[in-house]
């Protein structure tokens, strides 16, 4: 690990100012990803500004029926929250499908969005990687492709976003609150995380020094009938090959509302807008589920080592929709 200075700021504004003004500075919250990357010298901040005690550790009811999760709430507490278990079960399940209890007790709601890819080349400083070292090239294409993206990748980068929580957050149209050098703003989760394009080192749209302070879950009736399924190489404690967050509401045999998002397939949680559009108002049949999944994956550009993800994602979408609509019947 490279030497660094550790600071506890007195308030969010001074933490933001420190990180804005010093390009070597970084925020520290749970540290489960950052400290690990520092050990491997993938991340080499010269200053760590500890913000965990500065941001809210509470989950509040919002007047519109939604919930506001403070950025400092641990992943464990989000997953265990009674309201979230009842109103947004796919979010509880997504979090519980990720990492271990030990890590979820440390990791925060805000930090979870900002964890870096687990692409093995990003984490190995001996190999070229455009995300870690802009312009150095991509070692992953033609290398270990199993974990790579099938949707929205670029020549420069085919890494996937590792979060399970963020997939469910994308499905419910969660919105993050931030405080940065230009003041406060809100950003929908679906716009917070980005595709790699020709700037794969930018995982998200946050400015230097901009801190996530809370996440809002909007009221969403369909989310009460939702599930998260994660397909992985071992039964627990592994990253997703493919994951699906799904919510569906059926009335008179027709799909009244639906939310679908995929994990493990792209540089960001992949909200399946095409499939949702195909399903809205359509009969809730196996045939339509297949057609919607195929429409969503029509744009997939798999590599030789991850082509299996295309049928895996389609089949997982279909089986989730089948299970959720059978339960609702």
CB of 297 to other proteins, least distance (A): 25
Count residues contacting other proteins (CB under 8 A)? Answer: 37
Residues in the chain: 329
Are the C-beta atoms of residues 321 and 248 closer than 8 Å to each other?
yes
Within 199-238, the residues that bind other proteins by CB under 8 A are: 230, 235-237
Q: Is the CB of 76 or the CB of 130 nearer to other proteins?
A: 76
Cβ proximity to other proteins, 100 vs 136, nearer residue: 100
Torsion, Cα 107 108 114 119, to 10 degrees, reads 20
C-alpha 222: how far from its chain's center? 20
Query: Binding segment for other proteins among 47-55, 206-214, 241-249, 272-280 (CB under 8 A)?
Result: 47-55
| Helix (DSSP H) and strand (DSSP E) numbers for the chain | 12, 12
Site for other proteins in 81-120 (CB under 8 A): 82, 85-86, 89, 92-93, 96-97, 99-103, 105-106
Q: How far is the CB of 226 from other proteins (least distance, A)?
A: 10
Least distance (Å) between residue 196 CB and other proteins: 25
In angstroms, rounded to a whole number, what is the distance separating the alpha carbons of residues 260 and 317? 8
CB of 82 to other proteins, least distance (A): 8
Q: Does residue 310 bind other proteins (CB under 8 A)?
A: no
The pair of three-digit structure tokens given for residue 116, joined into one six-digit string: 């870096």
Query: Of 167, 151, 68, whose CA–CA distance to 113 is shortest?
Result: 167
The site map against other proteins for 5-44 (x = CB under 8 A) is xx---------------------x--xx--xx--x-----
Sheet-wide strand order for 254-263: 226-231, 242-251, 254-263, 270-271
Q: Which 57-86 positions form the footprint of other proteins (CB under 8 A)?
A: 74, 76, 79-80, 82, 85-86
16: its two tokens: 């933001």
Planar angle of CA 163, 31, 102, nearest 5 degrees: 70
Nearer to other proteins, 32 or 213 (CB): 32
Report the largest interatomic distance among the alpha carbons of the chain, rounded to a whole angstrom: 63
Positions touching other proteins (CB under 8 A) are 1, 3-6, 28, 31-32, 35-36, 39, 48, 50, 52, 74, 76, 79-80, 82, 85-86, 89, 92-93, 96-97, 99-103, 105-106, 230, 235-237
């Amino acid at each position: 690990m490279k030497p660094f200075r550790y600071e506890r700021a007195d308030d969010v504004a001074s933490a933001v100012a420190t990180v804005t003004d010093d390009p070597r500075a970084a925020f520290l919250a749970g540290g489960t990803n950052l400290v690990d990357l520092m050990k491997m010298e993938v991340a080499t901040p010269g200053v760590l500004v500890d913000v965990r005690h500065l941001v809210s550790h509470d989950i509040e009811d919002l007047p519109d029926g939604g919930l506001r999760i403070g950025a400092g709430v641990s992943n464990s507490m989000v997953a265990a929250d009674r309201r979230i278990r009842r109103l947004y079960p796919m979010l509880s399940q997504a979090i519980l499908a990720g990492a271990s209890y030990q890590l979820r007790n440390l990791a925060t709601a805000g930090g979870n969005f900002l964890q870096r890819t687990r692409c093995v080349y990003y984490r190995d400083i001996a190999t070229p990687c455009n995300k870690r070292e802009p312009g150095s090239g991509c070692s992953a294409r033609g290398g270990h492709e199993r974990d790579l993206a099938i949707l929205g990748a670029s020549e420069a980068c085919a890494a996937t976003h590792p979060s399970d929580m963020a997939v469910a957050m994308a499905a419910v149209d969660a919105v993050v609150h931030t405080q940065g050098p230009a003041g406060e703003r809100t950003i929908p989760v679906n716009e917070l995380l980005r595709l790699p394009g020709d700037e794969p080192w930018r995982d998200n749209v946050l400015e230097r020094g901009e801190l996530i302070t809370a996440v809002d879950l909007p009221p969403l009736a369909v989310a009460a009938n939702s599930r998260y399924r994660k397909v992985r190489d071992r039964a627990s404690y592994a990253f997703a090959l493919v994951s699906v967050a799904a919510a569906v509401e059926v009335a008179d045999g027709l799909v009244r509302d639906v939310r679908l998002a995929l994990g493990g397939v792209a540089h960001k949680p992949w909200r399946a807008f095409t499939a949702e559009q195909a399903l809205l108002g359509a009969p809730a049949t196996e045939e339509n589920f297949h057609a919607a999944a195929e429409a969503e994956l029509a744009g997939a550009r798999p590599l030789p080592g991850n082509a299996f993800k295309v049928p895996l994602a389609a089949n997982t979408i279909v089986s989730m929709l089948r299970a959720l609509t059978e339960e609702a019947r």
